[in-house]
Amino acid sequence: MFNSPSANRRLAIRTVTVQAVVATVVAMGFLAIGREAALAAALSGGAVVAGSLVLAWRAMFGPPRSGGDVLARMVSGLLLKWFVVIVALYVGLSRLGLPPMPLLVGLGLTLAASFPTHALKP
C-alpha cells in the first residue's frame, strides 16, 4: 500500500478545494465580459467540483473494503462524476443557451487544476 486511506481522503478534499477556487476565479474573470459568460464558466466549473465531490464521496469515504470493492467504487464514482459533468454541459448549452467558449474554458481550467494538486506534497 503506497498511501494510507487518510492521506487519500486529504488529497481528495484538497483537490475539490483547489477546483472550487479555480472555478470561482475563472467565473469572476468572465464576469468582466458579461453575466452569461460568468454563469457559463461557473456552471461548468461547479459541475466539475460537484462531480469530484461525488467521486470522492463514492470512492474514499466509508468503511475499509477489499481491493475489488475499492476498484468498483472508484469506477462507479468516476462514471457518476462524468455523468454530472455531461448533464451540466447539456443543460448549459441546450437548455440555458449559454455561450460555449466560457463553458469550455471553465471546464478545462477546473479539470486542469487537479493535476498540480496531485503533484504537490502537503
Q: Profile the chain (122 residues) by mean pLDDT over runs of 10 residues.
A: 72 91 97 96 97 90 80 92 96 95 96 83 63
Which pLDDT value is given to residue 121? 66
What residues contact residue 69 under an 8 Å CB cut-off, 6+ apart? none
Q: State residue 111's pLDDT score.
A: 94
* CA-to-CA dists, residue 118 to 13, 75, 113, angstroms: 11, 19, 9
Report whether 15 contacts 54 (CB < 8 A): no
Computed on alpha carbons and rounded to an integer, the radius of gyration of the chain in Å comes to 16
The pLDDT of residue 31 is 96
